[in-house]
Amino acid sequence: MTRVLSTFPNPKLKQRTPGLTVRILKELTSPSSFQWNFRESYASLAKRVGADEETVRLTLKRAVEEGAVKGWRIVVNPHLFGQQLRGLQLDVDNEERKTEAISQLKLVEGVLLILDFHGKGMRIAFYYSNDNALDRKVKLIKSLCRFNGDVPHWYTDLPVPEMRLRPIDWSILQILLKDPRMEILPIAQKLGVSTRTVSRRLRLMTESHVAYLIPVRDVRKSRGVLVCYLVTCSTEGQRLVESEIAARGHQVDFVYSSLRNHFLITILADNLAYAEDLLSLVRSIKGVSKTRMDIMKEFIFVDDWLDETVQSIISNSGYSPA
C-alpha cells in the first residue's frame, strides 16, 4: 500500500497563507476545470472565497491597478471553429535566442498562449484542426525553437457547445474578447440591440460552454514565485497527486488534471526551496514516472489569430451592428 506523505520532507519549510487575490484568481481558473461562466457575479465569487461582494470587487480592481493582473481575456471554445486545443512543452536550443523564437511563435496560426519560463523552457497552447495539422504545427514549433527531442503534448478535452452561435453572438464575443467584464448597457449600445437581448444571449452562451475566462498575469509583479509543474503519471498516480495537492490547496494558483497521462500544477511559492520540496514530494508518489519544474518568467496571451478568426466569421455572416 502506497502512503502519500502528508507533510513536506523538510517540515521547517512552511508557506504563508496567500491573500484574497490569490484565492480569487484560483477560483476564476481552477481547480481542474476552466471558468466557463466568464460573467460570474462578484456575489457568487465572494460566497466561494468567504468574503463580501464589495471586498472581492475591490480586490480584483486593485490587482489590475497594481499590475499583477494585466486584464482579462476569454478563450473561445475551439469546437466552435471546428478545431481542438493542444498544449506542449519544450526548450529552445539556446537561451540567448529565446526572444527571437517567441516572436516567431506568436505568428504561428492558432497559437493562443505562451508561458515563458526562466532558462530554455516554455509551454505553448494552440488550436489545430486535425491530426495532420497537429503534426505540422508541432514540427514547426520544434523547428522555430531548434529543438530535436521528444515534446510532451496533451489534448485538452473541452465540452462541445450545446448551441449554434448566431451572428449577434459572435459580435458580442468580439466585444468581450479583451474586456469580458464589460457592462451590458455599452455592449447593447455598440450593437444597437436591447440590454435584454444581450443578457439573454450571454446567459445562453455561458450555459453552453462557449468561452472560458483567464486572467492575464504580470509575473514580475506577483507576490511570490509562480512555479509550474508538469507531471507524467498513471491514472492512480494522478489521483494520489491530486489528493496531496488538495490537502494544501491554499497555495495552488492553477491545477488542470483532465489530461491523459499528464497533470499540470502551478503554485505561488514564497521561495524556491518550498517549490523544490514539493517537487521531491510529487516524485515520491507511486505512479509518477516523470516530473518537470519551471519558474514562470512571462505570461504571454496571443490575441491576433483569435481576433482575426472571430472577425472573419462576422464578416462572412454579413452581420453588422445597427
**Which residues are within 8 A (CB) of 290 and not within 5 positions of it... i.e. 6 or more apart?**
231, 232
Can you tell me the distance from the alpha carbon of 106 to that of 301, in angstroms, rounded to the nearest whole number?
Answer: 9
Is the confidence at residue 111, as pLDDT, over 50?
A: yes
Tracing cell 468567504 back to the chain, one arrives at 50
Tracing cell 489590475 back to the chain, one arrives at 64
CA 38, 42, 43, 46 torsion-angle sign: positive
For the chain, how many residues are written?
Answer: 322
Distance, C-alpha 21 to centroid of its chain: 17
The whole-number pLDDT of residue 35 equals 66
Tell me the CATH number of domain 18-222+298-322, given options 3.90.79.10, 3.30.70.920, 3.10.20.30, 3.30.70.20. Answer: 3.30.70.920
Cβ count near 300 (within 10 Å): 17
Confirm if 314 and 167 have CB atoms less than 8 A apart.
yes
Q: What is the mean pLDDT of the chain?
A: 85
pLDDT digits (tens, 9 = 90+) for 83-109: 999 999 999 999 999 999 999 999 999
Can you tell me the distance from the alpha carbon of 180 to that of 138, in angstroms, rounded to the nearest whole number?
Answer: 31
The whole-number pLDDT of residue 250 equals 55
The whole-number pLDDT of residue 167 equals 94
More confident residue, 6 or 184: 184
Confirm if 302 and 106 have CB atoms less than 8 A apart.
yes
Q: Using 50, 70 and 90 to split pLDDT, how confident is the model at 114?
A: very high
The whole-number pLDDT of residue 220 equals 84
Per DSSP bridges, beta strands 225-233 and 69-76 are: unpaired
Is the confidence at residue 266, as pLDDT, over 90?
A: no
Give me 252's grid cell: 495552488
